Amino acid sequence: QKEVEQNSGPLSVPEGAIASLNCTYSDRGSQSFFWYRQYSGKSPELIMSIYSNGDKEDGRFTAQLNKASQYVSLLIRDSQPSDSATYLCAVPMYSGGGADGLTFGKGTHLIIQP
Amino acid sequence: DAGVIQSPRHEVTEMGQEVTLRCKPISGHNSLFWYRQTMMRGLELLIYFNNNVPIDDSGMPEDRFSAKMPNASFSTLKIQPSEPRDSAVYFCASGQGNTIYFGEGSWLTVV
């Protein structure tokens, strides 16, 4: 059973600062990694995916992957109050990739303080 | 595309009653998933269909739960009889490639 671990938080970050969210995973064979954002009362929505070691940037978001350490992180630059949400890290349950189902961490609750 | 469509959005029912949740996946997606989310356990995969065929139902908690996908555009998750511990948000999701997309969820309260 693949496991994904996240600090539940809450993580409180002042507006304009960098928010850093971390995730570790148990299966060394995992090849793809996903970050979902979930606002209170809403469904999870995909914000980033990463497949290779290193950094991947998309606007204010940067995903970082270190397969040797089984560690993936999400950085949010210039944090805004609208970034306040729960961020879920996920890995594929099977070898076929995300469309075969994802195992999610319990999420980190991020609060951006104005 | 309208996205994954779930109904009902909210359901309050009495213990022992049958509950049926419905889902219309995104057209063209081959994979369909039913997840359950609670504060204690987070998001748990209940069952996974591929091309309308159940592939993995190991997450279905017990025989009171059943799921069907009679065609590519419709799936149901049924709980019979319902119990208070079934209270949760039930998400349907569909996928293609390396991405899955969630519906808005069905908020179930069993009293």
pLDDT digits (tens, 9 = 90+) for B8-49: 999 999 999 999 999 999 999 999 999 999 999 999 999 999
The mean pLDDT value for B44-61 works out to: 93
CB contact under 8 A, B56 and A101: yes
Name the minimum distance, in Å, from the CA of A28 to any CA of chain B: 19
Preceding amide of B54 cis, omega within 30: no
| Residue of higher predicted confidence among A113 and A2 | A113
Contact residues on chain B for A101, CB-CB shorter than 8 A: 31, 33, 45, 48, 56, 95, 100
Chain B neighbours among A 24-43 (CB < 8 Å)? 32, 34, 42-43
Share of chain A above pLDDT 70, in %: 95
CB contact under 8 A, A102 and B45: yes
CB contact under 8 A, A32 and B98: yes
The mean pLDDT value for A25-31 works out to: 89
CA A35 to each of CA A3, A6, B51: distance values in angstroms, whole numbers, following the listed order:
15, 12, 26
pLDDT digits (tens, 9 = 90+) for A34-70: 999 999 999 999 999 999 999 999 999 999 999 999 9
Number of A to B CB contacts under 8 A, please give it. 59
Share of chain B above pLDDT 90, in %: 93
pLDDT digits (tens, 9 = 90+) for B73-88: 999 999 999 999 999 9
Among A100, A104, A108, the residue to mutate for chain B (most B Cβ within 10 A): A100
For the cut 90, the answer to whether the pLDDT of residue A98 exceeds it is no
**pLDDT score, position B91:** 98
| Residue of higher predicted confidence among A96 and A100 | A100
CA A82 to each of CA A15, A40, A103, A111: distance values in angstroms, whole numbers, following the listed order:
10, 12, 26, 9
pLDDT band with cut points at 50, 70 and 90 for residue A110: very high
Q: How far apart are CA A34 and CA A102, in angstroms?
A: 9
The mean pLDDT value for A10-21 works out to: 97
**pLDDT score, position A96:** 62
pLDDT band with cut points at 50, 70 and 90 for residue B62: confident
Q: Is B102 on the interface with A (CB under 8 A)?
A: yes
